[in-house]
Amino acid sequence: MGAFVALAASLGVYYAAHGRLDSIPERWELAFLAACLIPAVFSLVYLVLPLRRAEGLFLVAVALLVLTVMLDVAGFDGLANFSKLALMTAFGFWFLSYFESVLWVALVALIIPVVDSLSVWRGPTRHIVDEQPEIFDTLSFAFPAPGGASSANLGLPDLLFFALFLAAAARWELRVPWTWVALTASLGLTMISAVALDTAGLPALPGLAFGFLIPNGDLLWREFRRWRASRAAPARQ
């Protein structure tokens, strides 16, 4: 609890003061966001993992949705930002309760890269980013660079699946620390790739999916073989 409070306070100070800091060159902005700010923000999700088993998560998510809307309407952008993170984390934890097997999560991780890529490149996400950026700002989490001149933004579904994948690793006793490292690193790499390719944005869910699958691949394969063996046993009888 103490670590969470200290980290949340530090992030609160940065978000409140980042606009008054000196701007830094773009390459250092990217390094700061990828190596410092993004990991710090998602450390909050790591620290609240024990709450994934809490009762009433759906009601908590509904309350956080109302709070987020109120904060956004009132113009408290920084607070609304973290309310979005809390909302999608609570919703991700609750949503995971409907998965009966880690193989279901793995299947989702295999499907969503295709769906998200199509949405970003040809579908509704591309339209919103290009034609209605104010909507994307509302439906995203901002990682502002020092100086306040620019920020990286992550869509709310990305926050949800980060929480869901990390909570799944914890629930089924996979490699939780390495999963967090891989998930967090994937976001930094996606951001850096978008800048390098000079594009308005790249889909983050493919990286998150691989961030879940790669560090746990052997464990997931072992679970798949166990499931397949259990299905074959009645047939042999």
pLDDT value at position 123?
53
Residue 116 has pLDDT above 80, yes or no: no
For the question of whether the overall pTM of this predicted structure is more than 0.85, the answer is: yes
CA distance 105 to 8: 29
Residue with more model confidence, 226 or 195? 226
**Lowest mean per-residue pLDDT among 13-27, 66-80, 123-137, 195-209:** 123-137
Q: What is the mean pLDDT of the chain?
A: 87
Mean pLDDT confidence for 98-127: 77
pLDDT value at position 134?
57
Domain ranges of the chain: 2-236
Q: What is the pLDDT of residues 127-169, one digit of tens each?
A: 455 555 556 667 789 899 888 767 888 889 999 999 999 999 9
Q: What is the pLDDT of residues 184-212, one digit of tens each?
A: 999 999 988 888 877 766 788 889 999 99
CA distance 131 to 218: 43
**Lowest mean per-residue pLDDT among 20-24, 82-86, 100-104, 105-109:** 20-24
| Three-state SS annotation for the chain | CHHHHHHHHHHHHHHHHHHHCCCCCHHHHHHHHHHHHHHHHHHHHHHCHHHHHCCCHHHHHHHHHHHHHHHHHHCCHHHHHHHHHHHHHHHHHHHHCCCCCHHHHHHHHHHHHHHHHHHHHCCHHHHHHHHCHHHHHHCEEEEECCCCCCEEEEEHHHHHHHHHHHHHHHHCCCCHHHHHHHHHHHHHHHHHHHHHCCCCCCCCHHHHHHHHHCCCHHHHHHHHHHHHHHHHHHHHC
Q: What is the pLDDT of residues 100-109, one digit of tens each?
A: 999 999 999 9
Mean pLDDT confidence for 116-120: 65
